[in-house]
Amino acid sequence: MLDLDTPEYLPFEYDPASGRVALLRMTEADYRAASFLDQRVLRPDSVLIETEWAKLAMPAEARRNAQYIFHIGNVGSTLISRLLGELPEVFALREPLLLRAFAESPPDADGFDRLTALLSRTFRPDQRANVKATSFTSEIADRLVPLGSRALFLYARPDRYLENILAGENSWRTLQALSPLRLRRLQGRCPGLEAELGAMHDGLKAALGWACEMTSLEAAAARLPEGSVRWLEFDAFLADPVAQFRAVAAHFGHKADEPTARAIAEGPLMGRYSKALDYEYSPALRREILADARWRHAPAIRDALNWLEGLARRYPAVADAIRRARGTG
């Protein structure tokens, strides 16, 4: 019989049609190294066990106190998760694949309770689980964050987000894949919105992504208890990482004194690409890349920002998101 007291077996991939789930055996070091708890974490020697989801019932006394990081994508969420994971009392999980299945096909309340208990497990009693979700799972954020827990909502200003997306060499592939779903999700908050994706350039598709993900976070924040959400704009974090890290840690109930916060927020992780630590990606390099994208894609960015302003005039949800980004929300 499986021992589910610790996260040694991660509920990895869930099939709603069959009600079966694959569990992946993981060590604490495996979790620490993984940028994504999806197919990318699998190795030739990975141990997977399949069972029925219903058989993973968790006892009433099991912890249900996982905390969360939600974000709009490409806004430093992996970095923030890694930095928090440097605190000994934080057990960081990054983008469990199971959350995507729940976002696409939400189960009943019992299913969410079981998921909460499974994701709240830690290797040591003094740890607390902190889950960085995939961006589109913010649609179910209010059902994921347990009562009494807290969440961090990460975002970027529209111009910075556009620069970052358009700077990517393969951004067009990502935009092509994600834009249809993002349009449908945004239409749920912006009734009557029509857009011909085939006629939209990458800047407009990136703006669509920003509007979709930001309005999703705004809707989730409105449904969560007051005080449970802390908003953080990524450039504000980079402007003062030590102070911001201490504030984020405190929001999640963790103490990080000045020397500890400085050692973490000014340490080696700040100079690496957090999704692939073999690569350099310092804040200075990021500024250079964004400046280049701002120059190379100026017409597309200007067009996209104008498109967002037009949306804001028609839809309060987008207007609220833009006010948030400007610091006036």
Range of the domain at 307: 59-326
Q: Is residue 48 part of a domain?
A: no
- For residue range 229-273, list pLDDT tens digits in order: 999 999 999 999 999 999 999 999 999 999 999 999 999 999 999
Write down the pLDDT at residue 1.
Answer: 61
Q: Has this prediction a pTM greater than 0.95?
A: yes
Write down the pLDDT at residue 151.
Answer: 98
Q: Is residue 138 part of a domain?
A: yes
The structure tokens listed for 274 are 């957090």
Q: For residue 223, give the CATH number of its domain.
A: 3.40.50
Q: Is residue 166 part of a domain?
A: yes
Taking each helix axis from N to C end, the angle separating 77-85 and 241-251, rounded to the nearest 10 degrees, works out to 70
The structure tokens listed for 280 are 């350099």
Q: Is residue 235 part of a domain?
A: yes
Instruction: Please tell me the total count of domains within the chain.
Output: 1
The predicted model gives 184-211 an average pLDDT of 96
Q: Is residue 130 part of a domain?
A: yes
The predicted model gives 174-198 an average pLDDT of 95
Per-residue pLDDT at 328 exceeds 90: no
If pLDDT is split at 50, 70 and 90, which confidence band does 32 have?
very high
- For residue range 42-94, list pLDDT tens digits in order: 999 999 999 999 999 899 999 999 999 999 999 999 999 999 999 999 999 99
- H/E segment holding residue 49: strand 48-52
HSE at residue 123, side-chain half, CA atoms within 13 A, is: 16
Per-residue pLDDT at 29 exceeds 80: yes
* Whole-angstrom distance, CA of residue 154 vs CA of residue 69: 7
**How much is the mean pLDDT over the chain?**
96
The structure tokens listed for 259 are 């020397």
Write down the pLDDT at residue 65.
Answer: 98
Q: Is residue 4 part of a domain?
A: no
